[in-house]
Chains A and B, each alone.
Chain A
Amino acid sequence: MIDHALDFGLAAVSLALLLNLWSLFRGPTTMDRVLAVDTMVINVIALIVLFGIREGSMLYFEAALLFAMFGFVSTVAYCRFVLRGNIIE
């Protein structure tokens, strides 16, 4: 059962990533694209966790942890740049 669930999860997340890529191309504004990348990070976290479960290994979870912690930092930096120019005032 878990195998089917993992297959489904991986397929869904992969599809989501492809849609993110589409969104990155389509835009139209800069913020749309930044959001596309931010969503991509979320999907990558899911991908890593699912992959870890399938491989039966704990080794990959730290990567997911780092993405979860810092994925949003880049997004914040892009937003601050658009809003204020200088990201550290």
Chain B
Amino acid sequence: MSLLLIVLLPFIGALFPALMIRVGRNASAAAAFFATSLAFVLLMSHAPALFRGEVLQAGWEWLPGLGLNVNFLLDGLGFFFAALILGIGLLIIVYARYYLSKDDPVGVFYTYLLLFQGAMVGIVVSDNVLLLLIFWELTSLSSFLLIGYWKHLPEGRQGARMALAVTGAGGLAMIAGMLLIGDIAGSYDLSVILQRAESIQASPQYLPALVLILIGCFTKSAQFPFHFWLPHAMAAPTPVSAYLHSATMVKAGLFLMARMWPVLSGTEAWFYIVATTGLVTMTIGAFIALFKDDLKGLLAYSTVSHLGLVTMLFGFGTPMAATAAVFHVLNHATFKAALFMSAGIVDHEAGTRDVRRLGGLMHLMPVTATLAMVAGASMAGLPLLNGFLSKEMMLHEAASTAWLGQGWVLGTAATIAACFSVAYSFRFIAHVFMGPIRKDYPHHPHDPPLGMWIPPAVLVVLVVLIGLFPDTLAGPLVAMVARAVTGGQVLDYHLAQWHGFTPALGMSVVAIVVGTLLIRSYPRVRALWTAGPHPEAKRIFDGLITGAVDIAQRLTHGVHNGSMQRYLAVMLSAMLLLGYFVFASSPNAPGTRALMPASAVAVVGWVLLMGACLALVLMHQQRLLALVVVGVIGLIVSIGFVYLSAPDLALTQISVEVVTVILMLLALNFLPKRSPRESSTVRRLRDAGLAIAAGLGVGGAAWAVMTRDAETLSGYYLEQSVAGGGGSNVVNVILVDFRGFDTFGEIIVLGIAALTIFALLDGLMVSAAGRRLQSWRPDQARAADRHPMMLAVATRAMLPLALMVGIYIFLRGHNVPGGGFIAGLVVAVALIVQYMASGFGWAAHRMKVDYHALIGAGVLVAAATGLGALVAGFPFLTSTVWHLDLPLLGELHIASAMFFDTGVFLVVVGATMLALANLSRLGRHAEHLLVNREPMDVDPSRPSFAAGEH
């Protein structure tokens, strides 16, 4: 439970900053801090057990059929990463409070940050790879929000998009890889997968799985050639950069390599892919970092380089290298977060982060300068600091590992990378903080408030302390994590500054000397760099994206260019093709069932349907006539339902037909009354052929199904209807009980559709289309008779009758044809008729019902019915039946499904009325007619009429 809580606390906490911002920025930050520290304390409470070597597990089944379980596992590795994520998270929360300005939406920031934090913690404590993938995708999404936090900056938006595209694509590859691994291991639980190293490495699917998973890791951890998104993500606010690029996001890839290390590592493929990628990334990153003028750009490439370093160490596949990797993850997180925060302080106080415009800041902001210089020295790998320790270990491992049989390759390359690393670190120190004070800073630099420099100070203290007392402070932790990574191997080593005169020491000295020389002659080195080629990753990426979009668009527009004919032709051809293949590849003898005799009346109905279809084809260019003929088709279909014993369907069809005609006529008012002839004769022949073939195909399929005896579902429903649903009308019981959850979803969709119609039309009134509508002139003559007396009187008399029928159909619905849906349509039509007879203004004035509220109320009533079952201890929407014996009325049968049906009824009435009323608003908007006060044009009972002055 406690494990689940550690993961959930950031997510729960994410709700509060956005709410607390109403109280103030401090309250918002405090809420975020509180949630994170709770999770942190909870995590720390498990530390003693973990140091004793225990592993904590907790799990719940989620979708056991898919192998997706909510299983958590906290071992040394997970603990280490979770502690980094939450610990540095706390510092970032404090730092961000002072970094973000008054204009930035702070509440949203903390909410994004906590969402991201929760997703990260989820990754590191997941015991199920599918669950891990879910959290993995969540980090991609939440980091997208964080990187694009400054929405007004195009760089921020583009950087966020690039990060999402690259890490999202990697995530897709990783899903495939994880599925392969789970398939080989027979389980998606990590604890099981980790036991199956041998069978996984022996499987032919090992290589594809390895490559796919590594693509996921490399994109996330910005390994060459996917490294380019990281520098562009620097457009984010500095707290985000400090968090994402020191301790969390980019470390997720490293974490996964460490997590899967016992299973995947140790093969040649692993070594050559991972170690080589790491080596190239480390060298290129360090090289480019030397020439970045933007402080954060410099740190970004430095991060790329250090991530490469750790990747390379994991790639070596030896337990000692993995230990060094773990130690460097810790050291890099401390000094890099401190450096990012210092860079943010410089940017904040001096007004620029361009190295060329800075210098001499040591005298103006001594505290910041001290912090940044100590952390920078650690990044360079100078002795006495923690960066030195892990870099020594790395150089030692590189020097003692052979690559393609050559012992010198890795050592030399690592030394070269170390030289650049020293050089860019020194540049960061020398060109920003040393030198004379300048006159031309954009702001007047000074040290920031306490809250802004305390977080980096905490980290710098760690940098120094771990550097001085590595074995005491970091030893047990590193040993525990290394044990978890390597699967329990105990190694003989100790962390120390001095190991004697080793090759690694020599390489360090070379690196420091060469790095210093590089910086002393920086202008010349820079000139050499400027002369060389500079492939611009962003342009290549943009080109790729544009190309992909182009292809996708050409494909889409080729199939679906907005022409209904084209769209239908493609769809029908595909259906015909598929149908033909199935038909040709399976037995297709005629069915054996005896045919029923066709009565003369049925034949007449058939002739009517065919005649109406023919009429539609002939008259389709006159749109009003086409609508009239469609009405005939609906009519025949309705009696077809009656004839084939489906009275519920018939009732629904009849009411739907009426509403459809009204809806179409409302729209047709603004459309041309004739469709022009647009297709060539050849096209029309093609379309006719397709239509006939598809029609024959569907008819044939229906024929084939109906002439065969098959077990159908209806038997079950017929048996269970009264027993399980308490009603004898099977159709209604299916709607409100058996498939009640579907109906619940459907009424929500219906409500949403109606609200969308409202929103679209409401927006239309004020848009350019609204102005066009204002100048619209009717294209047909208007009769003077707006509201004929006969219609008004007839509909008024009909209203109570129609409502009565509606209630009657509703009440009987559970046992005989009827129900909420049909009743809703009936009532809606009865009300619409009043609008038609006396005009919208007059009728709306007398029916003050808010249709929006009606839809909402309907959904709520249905939900409340369903929840009622839940309260009583049954699954959602289980129905019950009460039998009451009332005086006068006799026995009364009440099903809880009736309340659910009430919800359906309300939504149907609300949605129909809302859609029709809003469509009719368009017409009123366009024609500028006065709203009539009287229900009809001519009213003999009106006094003014008697006086002859109407």
Interface string of B640-672 (1 = CB under 8 A from A): 001100010011001101100110011011000
Interfacial chain A residues near B622, Cβ < 8 Å = 30
A74 to B920, CA, bound (A): 16
* Closest A residue by C-beta to B622: A30
Q: Does B929 contact A (CB under 8 A)?
A: yes
Q: Does B604 contact A (CB under 8 A)?
A: yes
* Closest B residue by C-beta to A72: B794
- How many residues does chain B have at the interface if contact means C-beta atoms less than 8 Å apart? 65
Which of A37, A44, A66, A81: most chain B Cβ within 10 A? A66
A81 to B929, CA, bound (A): 16
Contact of A63 among B647, B782, B801 (CB under 8 A): B647
Interfacial chain A residues near B628, Cβ < 8 Å = 24, 30, 33-34, 37, 78
| With contact pairs A48-B639, A63-B651 given, residues A89 and B608 touching in the complex (Cβ less than 8 Å) | no
Interfacial chain B residues near A17, Cβ < 8 Å = 604, 608
Interfacial chain A residues near B655, Cβ < 8 Å = 66, 70
Interface string of A1-42 (1 = CB under 8 A from B): 000000000110010011001001100001001100100110
* Residues A78 and B665 in contact, CB atoms below 8 Å apart: yes
Which of A14, A59, A62, A80: most chain B Cβ within 10 A? A62
Interface string of B602-615 (1 = CB under 8 A from A): 00100110011001
* Residues A77 and B840 in contact, CB atoms below 8 Å apart: no
A51 to B565, CA, bound (A): 41
Interface string of A57-70 (1 = CB under 8 A from B): 00110110111011
* Residues B786 and A84 in contact, CB atoms below 8 Å apart: yes
Main secondary structure on chain A at its contact with chain B?
Answer: helix
Interfacial chain B residues near A70, Cβ < 8 Å = 654-655, 658, 826, 829
Task: Kindly provide the distance from the CB of A60 to the nearest chain B CB, expressed in whole angstroms.
Answer: 5
Main secondary structure on chain B at its contact with chain A?
Answer: helix
Contact of A24 among B632, B639, B805, B818 (CB under 8 A): B632
Which one of B171-179, B831-839, B855-863, B880-888 contacts A? B831-839
Task: Kindly provide the distance from the CB of B104 to the nearest chain A CB, expressed in whole angstroms.
Answer: 49
* Residues A86 and B924 in contact, CB atoms below 8 Å apart: yes
Contact of A37 among B604, B631, B802 (CB under 8 A): B631
Interfacial chain A residues near B665, Cβ < 8 Å = 77-78, 80-81, 87
Task: Kindly provide the distance from the CB of B916 to the nearest chain A CB, expressed in whole angstroms.
Answer: 7
Q: Does B704 contact A (CB under 8 A)?
A: no
Task: Kindly provide the distance from the CB of B830 to the nearest chain A CB, expressed in whole angstroms.
Answer: 8
Q: Does B589 contact A (CB under 8 A)?
A: no
Task: Kindly provide the distance from the CB of B915 to the nearest chain A CB, expressed in whole angstroms.
Answer: 12
A66 to B808, CA, bound (A): 12
Interfacial chain A residues near B927, Cβ < 8 Å = 86, 89
* Closest B residue by C-beta to A41: B635
* Residues A76 and B791 in contact, CB atoms below 8 Å apart: yes
Contact of B836 among A10, A47, A77, A82 (CB under 8 A): A77
Q: Does B601 contact A (CB under 8 A)?
A: yes
Task: Kindly provide the distance from the CB of B664 to the nearest chain A CB, expressed in whole angstroms.
Answer: 9
Interfacial chain A residues near B917, Cβ < 8 Å = 88
Interface string of B744-786 (1 = CB under 8 A from A): 0000000000000000000000000000000000101011011
Task: Kindly provide the distance from the CB of B685 to the nearest chain A CB, expressed in whole angstroms.
Answer: 23
A78 to B629, CA, bound (A): 12
* Residues B836 and A74 in contact, CB atoms below 8 Å apart: no
Q: Does B694 contact A (CB under 8 A)?
A: no
A87 to B924, CA, bound (A): 10
Task: Kindly provide the distance from the CB of B786 to the nearest chain A CB, expressed in whole angstroms.
Answer: 6
A86 to B836, CA, bound (A): 9
Q: Does B38 contact A (CB under 8 A)?
A: no
| With contact pairs A30-B624, A66-B654, A70-B829 given, residues A89 and B923 touching in the complex (Cβ less than 8 Å) | yes
Interfacial chain B residues near A65, Cβ < 8 Å = 805
Task: Kindly provide the distance from the CB of A74 to the nearest chain B CB, expressed in whole angstroms.
Answer: 5
* Closest B residue by C-beta to A67: B654
* Residues A14 and B668 in contact, CB atoms below 8 Å apart: no
Chain B 569-601 residues near chain A, CB threshold 8 A: 600-601
Contact of B647 among A30, A59, A85 (CB under 8 A): A59
* Residues A21 and B611 in contact, CB atoms below 8 Å apart: yes
Q: Does B798 contact A (CB under 8 A)?
A: yes
* Residues B662 and A87 in contact, CB atoms below 8 Å apart: yes
* Closest B residue by C-beta to A55: B645
Which of A14, A47, A65, A74: most chain B Cβ within 10 A? A74
| With contact pairs A51-B601, A82-B624, A85-B669 given, residues A62 and B783 touching in the complex (Cβ less than 8 Å) | no
Q: Does B410 contact A (CB under 8 A)?
A: no
| With contact pairs A14-B600, A30-B625 given, residues A63 and B638 touching in the complex (Cβ less than 8 Å) | yes
Interfacial chain B residues near A85, Cβ < 8 Å = 669, 778, 780, 782, 923
* Residues B839 and A62 in contact, CB atoms below 8 Å apart: no
A13 to B832, CA, bound (A): 31
Q: Does B809 contact A (CB under 8 A)?
A: yes
Task: Kindly provide the distance from the CB of B826 to the nearest chain A CB, expressed in whole angstroms.
Answer: 7
* Residues B601 and A47 in contact, CB atoms below 8 Å apart: yes
Q: Does B816 contact A (CB under 8 A)?
A: yes
| With contact pairs A18-B604, A21-B608, A44-B639 given, residues A87 and B647 touching in the complex (Cβ less than 8 Å) | no
Q: Does B17 contact A (CB under 8 A)?
A: no
Task: Kindly provide the distance from the CB of B631 to the nearest chain A CB, expressed in whole angstroms.
Answer: 6
* Residues B642 and A48 in contact, CB atoms below 8 Å apart: yes
* Residues B782 and A84 in contact, CB atoms below 8 Å apart: yes
Chain B 329-357 residues near chain A, CB threshold 8 A: none
* Residues A51 and B643 in contact, CB atoms below 8 Å apart: yes
A34 to B785, CA, bound (A): 19
Q: Does B817 contact A (CB under 8 A)?
A: yes
Contact of B601 among A14, A76, A77, A88 (CB under 8 A): A14
* Residues A81 and B836 in contact, CB atoms below 8 Å apart: no
* Residues B651 and A66 in contact, CB atoms below 8 Å apart: yes
* Closest B residue by C-beta to A70: B658
Interface string of B25-50 (1 = CB under 8 A from A): 00000000000000000000000000
Interfacial chain A residues near B662, Cβ < 8 Å = 73-74, 77, 87-88
* Closest A residue by C-beta to B787: A89
Contact of B661 among A18, A74, A84 (CB under 8 A): A74
A73 to B794, CA, bound (A): 11
Interfacial chain A residues near B611, Cβ < 8 Å = 21, 24-25
| With contact pairs A24-B632, A88-B835, A89-B929 given, residues A81 and B604 touching in the complex (Cβ less than 8 Å) | no
* Residues B658 and A62 in contact, CB atoms below 8 Å apart: no
Contact of A88 among B642, B805, B923 (CB under 8 A): B923
* Residues A73 and B833 in contact, CB atoms below 8 Å apart: yes
Interfacial chain A residues near B836, Cβ < 8 Å = 73, 76-77, 80, 87-88
Please report A residues at the B interface, Cβ cutoff 8 Å. Answer: 10-11, 14, 17-18, 21, 24-25, 30, 33-34, 37, 40-41, 44, 47-48, 51, 59-60, 62-63, 65-67, 69-70, 73-74, 76-78, 80-89
Q: Which 4 pairs across A and B sit closest by C-beta, in order of nearness?
A: A88-B920, A86-B923, A83-B783, A14-B604
Query: Can you name 17 extra interface pairs (CB under 8 A) apart from A73-B836, A74-B661?
Result: A14-B600, A17-B604, A18-B604, A18-B607, A24-B611, A51-B601, A59-B817, A65-B805, A69-B798, A70-B829, A73-B829, A74-B657, A81-B669, A84-B785, A86-B666, A86-B920, A89-B920
- Can you sample 23 A-B contacts with CB below 8 Å? A14-B604, A25-B615, A30-B622, A37-B628, A44-B635, A47-B601, A59-B647, A63-B650, A66-B826, A67-B654, A70-B654, A73-B658, A73-B833, A74-B657, A76-B833, A78-B628, A78-B661, A83-B782, A85-B780, A86-B923, A87-B669, A88-B835, A89-B927
Please report B residues at the A interface, Cβ cutoff 8 Å. Answer: 600-601, 604, 607-608, 611-612, 615, 622, 624-625, 627-629, 631-632, 635, 638-639, 642-643, 647, 650-651, 654-655, 657-658, 661-662, 665-666, 668-669, 778, 780, 782-783, 785-787, 791, 798, 801-802, 805, 809, 816-818, 826, 829, 832-833, 835-836, 839-840, 916-917, 920, 923-924, 927, 929
